[in-house]
Amino acid sequence: MSATRAVILAAAQNKWLKERASRYSFVRRSVSRFMPGETLDDAIAAAHQLRSRALGTAFTHLGENIAEASEAEGVVAHYLQVLERIRAETLPTEISVKPTQLGLDLSENLCEQNLRRLAAEDPGRTLWIDMESSPYVESTLRLYRRVRADHPNCGVCLQAYLHRTPRDIEALLPLKPSIRLVKGAYRELPEIAAQQKSEIDSRYLELARALLTSQTSGNVQRAILATHDPRLLEQITTFAAQQGMGRQQVEVQMLYGIQRALQEKLAGEGWKSSVLVAYGTHWYAWFMRRLAERPANLWLVFRNIAAG
């Protein structure tokens, strides 16, 4: 792991910085690069705009590690409102939720009940379960297996940099899972996760190819390849073409505001493309992880400091 990335990830966990970051206008301007706003209305407006460019969307309401059951109930109520809105506006938008935002720190059973409520609300729309840091992987996969047994519209996110991920994918195949593959953005020890970009990229490509192959054979219901890396995407799309896969069989996802030109290029070429749209007031840790994924984004912060 680079020294810059390590420092940024450490800052993401700093409570003192978290409490003060939102006070500075240059930070808020920087955050706006990666999210359309803090409200559901902002996210809905972005989804309409992206659909006009042939881009699908998934919403995630920022927040994690809630401390009260009532907070989890509030999160569920919000996502039920989201589902109602996107149905009313005929958007193909999906939702992506963090288990700790639904009460996992309080009770695995509570979190499961909340996931089931959301999955049952709209059976025709995929509910994505986000993956958080390594201490939560085992419990999150347990939750996924239990909820997926009754709700086939449930999918899970896996992180390529974790050493365990190839085994986790293999163990999930009997379920015919839906999997969103990301590189991984949390600060993890070397014995838990790969640290060097070259190794992470190699693992990502290997797992992406395996998921596409499993999707073609019917062992994976749906694979989403979530990366902003142009070189990896070129390798993935080349592999898909060589295997005779149709472009709508390969689903690529990126974050709002990152690689916008590439997003539109892929969609224009016919590859199935979507954007993860984050919104909400609890953006600090999420924003810092975005900077750590690509430390060059720090220049955005510096430009906003210079702009006053």
Residues 237 and 299 in one domain: no
Q: Confirm whether 29 is a catalytic residue.
A: no
Residues 13 and 88 in one domain: no
Residues 221 and 179 sit within 8 Å (Cβ to Cβ)? no
**Would residue 45 count as lying in a domain?**
no
Q: Confirm whether 290 is a catalytic residue.
A: no
Count Cβ neighbours within 10 Å for each residue of 60-93 and write b for 16 or more, e otherwise.
bbbbbebeeeebbbebbeebeebbebbeeeebeb
Residues 162 and 185 sit within 8 Å (Cβ to Cβ)? no
Prediction pTM value: 0.86
Residues 274 and 294 in one domain: no
**Would residue 134 count as lying in a domain?**
yes
Residues 235 and 299 in one domain: no
**Would residue 40 count as lying in a domain?**
no
Residues 35 and 60 sit within 8 Å (Cβ to Cβ)? no
List the beta bridge partners of residue 276.
Answer: 58, 255
Q: Which has the higher per-residue pLDDT, 305 or 66?
A: 66
Residues 293 and 57 sit within 8 Å (Cβ to Cβ)? no
The enclosing domain of 170 has a CATH number of: 3.20.20.220
Tens digit of each residue's pLDDT (9 = 90 or more) over 40-89:
999 999 999 999 999 999 999 988 888 899 999 999 999 999 999 999 99
Active-site annotation holder among 5, 148, 180, 203 = 180
**Would residue 71 count as lying in a domain?**
yes
**Would residue 184 count as lying in a domain?**
yes
Query: Can you tell me the mean pLDDT for 252-268?
Result: 92
**Would residue 93 count as lying in a domain?**
yes
Residues 235 and 263 in one domain: yes
* Structural domain range at position 8: 1-35+283-308
Structural domain total, the chain: 2
Query: Can you tell me the mean pLDDT for 213-236?
Result: 96
Active-site annotation holder among 105, 122, 130, 201 = 130
Residues 220 and 287 in one domain: no
